[in-house]
Amino acid sequence: MTELVQQRIPQTGSGVVLDLIRSGAATTRSGLIEHLGWSRVTLAKRLDELLEAGLILRAGQVDSSGGRPASSFALAKDAGLLLAMDIGSSHTRVGVTDLISTVLCEDEADIGLFDGPDDIFSWAMQVFEHLLRSVDRSFEDVRGIGIGVPGPVDASSGTLGSPQLDPRWDDVRVRDHLGVLPADIVVSVDRDANILAIGESRLAWPEHRDLVVVKAGIGVGCALVLDGRVYRGGRGGAGQLSAPLRTGLSEPLRRLETVASGGTVRESLARDGQDRDGVRVRTSADIVRLVERGDAEAIAAVEAVGEVIGFAIADVVGLINPTAVVVGGNLAEAGDRFIAAIRQAVFRASHAFARQGLVVERARLGMRAGVRGASLLVQDALFDPERISALTRTPIGRS
């Protein structure tokens, strides 16, 4: 038996109780007993552990079927803060949330993957410090940091895979770029498309258990939600889309973003580095501004890219048979023309059975989806049942 297995806490710990309360599956003593099958004495001990640790609070009373109203419990959402970061190819958004991932404040900038990890994380930590001051809090209140990056990630270690689009990110351990952090701050890292999928699937599409989620910006990423959970694959690289084959079957697969993305739109609109109607085309947000102004060339380029993305997704639709395709990212802000181009291509190219009842729509959380998803990612790690069970069984002040 390995040391890891020996240290594992049985699933009768307080973390299991917290998990049910946090999800809303059971928030009263009677509801928890019904779910867990425990005795009242065991449950009372676990609730006392969580209350003493400041992880839950009594949230009042709920209607009962008779007799005295039942007390309910809730996560102590104000007992700390989470920092969330959604890094894109050319644009990054950061935010501060409470422990249930409600966004308290946020900021953004046109800085991204190709600025390199040193510059991005240096900027982010400065902005986080400013945002924390704006809500009268400090890094001492931070319990976890969730980060999305545009490339494959080993989620268990927080280390990026190789190769990345920019070699400076190859094998980067993200925590090493965040400065000196207290040992008890949890850091969770995942692909940016995955954190978009986490936010959208849990908060905006709860009625759908199987989704394809696309993040379209200067790059293009894809995430798969299967039976309500993000599927990451064997090494964290699931969801990479390839360009549709146009000629011989012997061609090696190319990344979709090399032929259809905000980056290819930018290249097609470039005119010797000059501005277009006062807009310097550098980021996906710049492309959206041109579309909103009615620039015919920009609109045509965005529609053409949407069509190719739709053809690439059609094969995924046939493989996993989702109930919805959700399109987010900056380029999705170009509106109906872009989404319609994707939808038409998906329905034209996918198998008849796979497209029955299929929904292809824009992401419902808008530009906050990544920050919300990154916060949910680290929230899950912070409140992992085994972690909480171990923490609450160790008296404060003892090693």
Give 107's pLDDT tier (boundaries 50, 70, 90): very high
- Does the structure show a pLDDT above 70 at 321? yes
Measured distance CA(18)–CA(74) in Å, rounded = 9
Same domain, 210 and 358: yes
* Residue 393 within a domain: no
Please give the pLDDT value at position 182: 87
- Does the structure show a pLDDT above 60 at 324? yes
Same domain, 137 and 276: no
Say which range, 12-16, 68-72, 113-117, 309-313, has the weakest mean pLDDT. Answer: 68-72
Residue with tokens 């995430």: 223
* Residue 389 within a domain: no
Q: Quick one: which of 93, 185, 100, 174 has its CA closest to 139?
A: 185
Please give the pLDDT value at position 6: 39
> Cβ-count burial of 315 within 10 angstroms (0-12 exposed, 13-18 middle, 19+ buried)?
middle
Please give the pLDDT value at position 367: 84
Please give the pLDDT value at position 208: 96
Same domain, 50 and 164: no
C-alpha distance from residue 390 to each of 16, 156, 384 (Å): 11, 19, 10
pTM, 2 dp: 0.88
Same domain, 243 and 317: yes
Measured distance CA(370)–CA(277) in Å, rounded = 30
Same domain, 31 and 97: no
Same domain, 302 and 358: yes
Please give the pLDDT value at position 250: 73
- Does the structure show a pLDDT above 50 at 272? no
C-beta of residue 258 within 8 angstroms of C-beta of residue 240: no
Q: For 105-128, what is the mean pLDDT?
A: 93
Residue 367: both structure tokens together: 């530009």
Q: How many domains does the chain have?
A: 3
- Does the structure show a pLDDT above 50 at 193? yes
Same domain, 165 and 229: no
Measured distance CA(304)–CA(310) in Å, rounded = 10
* Residue 214 within a domain: yes
- Does the structure show a pLDDT above 80 at 156? no
* Residue 221 within a domain: yes
Convert the pLDDT of each residue in 2-47 to its tens digit.
333 334 445 789 999 999 999 999 999 999 999 999 999 999 999 9
Same domain, 308 and 247: yes
Please give the pLDDT value at position 162: 80
Report the side by side order of strands in the sheet with 92-97: 103-109, 92-97, 81-87, 142-149, 186-191
**CATH code where residue 29 lies:** 1.10.10.10
* Residue 322 within a domain: yes
- Does the structure show a pLDDT above 90 at 236? no
* Residue 392 within a domain: no
Q: By percentage, how much of the chain surpasses pLDDT 90? A: 67
Give 275's pLDDT tier (boundaries 50, 70, 90): low
Residue 163: asked if its preceding bond is cis (omega within 30°), the reply is: yes
Please give the pLDDT value at position 197: 97
**CATH code where residue 270 lies:** 3.30.420.40
* Residue 146 within a domain: yes
Q: Quick one: which of 74, 75, 127, 81 has its CA closest to 104?
A: 81
* Residue 394 within a domain: no
Domain housing 334 = 206-363
- Does the structure show a pLDDT above 50 at 1? no
Same domain, 236 and 341: yes
- Does the structure show a pLDDT above 50 at 397? no
For the chain, what's the residue count? 399
Same domain, 226 and 185: no
Same domain, 91 and 159: yes
How many Cα atoms within 13 Å fall on the side-chain side of residue 119? 12
Please give the pLDDT value at position 399: 34
- Does the structure show a pLDDT above 70 at 65? no
Single residue among 77, 105, 121 that ends a domain in this structure: 77
Residue with tokens 């240096």: 122
Single residue among 55, 77, 99 that ends a domain in this structure: 77
Same domain, 113 and 72: no
